[in-house]
Chain A
Amino acid sequence: MAQEFWRWKESAWHDESMDPSKAQIITAGCDVGSVSSQAVIMLDGQLYAFANMRTGSDSPNSANNVMNWALKDLTLKLEDIHYIIGTGYGRVNVPFAHRAITEISCHARGGNFMYGPTVRTILDMGGQDCKAIRCDDKGKVTAFLMNDKCAAGTGRGMEVMADLLSVPIEDVGEMSLDVEEEPPPVSSTCVIFAKSEATGLLRKGWPKKKVLAAYCAAMAHRVVTLLERMGVEKDFAITGGIGKNVGVVRRIEKELGVTALTPKIDSQIAGALGAALFAKAVVEKERRG
């Protein structure tokens, strides 16, 4: 049976010590991305539960699936949640959301929560897009730049490489760092070109680790040019799935000359988390009257 190398591990989590019946404001965010979807539930602005799974081809159902998974082991029901905001590429397809907000604003807000008020520049490396976001100490966007036309610098690009080399995508980062000398990067202009080049390198006898190193270097270079177009201000942090790829992260840090803040929460939930926080602000405003 063919192994699917691009398939990363889906997850759901909740904090057993928290009690929703005691919460004043219960909010949720649902981020339906082109590759992955997340649902985040917060009690009074504290992270209570989340789920992270592949969006798949049935986008309208992705929101329902991921939210149901987040709620699965909880006493909380969907109708108990005071306000829900949808975000991401498929934000119009979140049937239970009260409002939709762009993922740029949500990543800034979520990044501010995850990394703290010192974060000023966030790089979101998503499934099919790449975003550079500048924000203030409250997580409000002051500048953004997104590229969603091109797979280079995105999860899809990494999936192509993992598939070509038959390496599970979660192992790519560590493997790419296991090289004695940094090889020259492959094309950073286009994933199709990079894939052709990688095939050539394998034929030349390059070991997989070396090819992965060359590709991670190309991806890092690509996103660094995106960041530099917008300007980088410290502190710098990375959200999105590729934030978990140490091979790309280390190379970005090296080329930028800036260390990224370490996440204590799964970097993929930043969008949904930001959405849940926006939802809390809406409820608070409504209650103030």
Chain B
Amino acid sequence: MQANYGYKDGSGEFYITIDTDKCNGCAKCIEACPPKVLEMIVNDYDEEVVAVSDAQRQKIKYACAPCKPMTGPRELPCVKVCEPGAIAHSW
């Protein structure tokens, strides 16, 4: 399942996509994320996978900003540490 968490408002469109078929529940991304955007859930189909927390979901533009500098190399810790490649950012 492609779970897209985020929003589109007057300032732009920001979505983090978790591929729950690829996610193996290792939780390395949760450790790697400084503002704790990600959390482990048991979804409606009883799968233990990663999701974007409700507390951060509506403000990921700001929460994720420190990992997305305007200049210089960009390496998202969550994406880097995910072996199955289950996480993607739309911006």
Contacts and interface: CB of A to CB of B under 8 A. Distances in A.
A230 B2 CA distance: 9
A11 B8 CA distance: 33
A146 B45 contact: no
The A interface is mostly helix, strand or loop, or mixed, namely mixed
Contacts of A230: 2, 4
B15 A229 contact: yes
Contacts of A146: 4
Given A145-B15, A229-B15, A230-B2, A102 B10 contact: no
Interface in B22-71: 43-45, 58
Nearest to B4: A145
A278 B43 CA distance: 14
Contacts of B58: 148-149
B2 A149 contact: no
B1 A189 contact: no
A12 interface: no
A190 B8 CA distance: 10
A119 B2 CA distance: 18
Given A140-B45, A145-B15, A229-B15, A150 B1 contact: no
Residue in B3, B10, B15, B44 with the greatest tally of chain A CB atoms within 10 Å = B44
A53 interface: no
Interface of B: 1-4, 7-10, 13, 15, 43-45, 58, 90
10 contacts: A102-B44, A141-B44, A142-B1, A142-B2, A143-B4, A144-B4, A145-B4, A189-B10, A190-B9, A229-B4
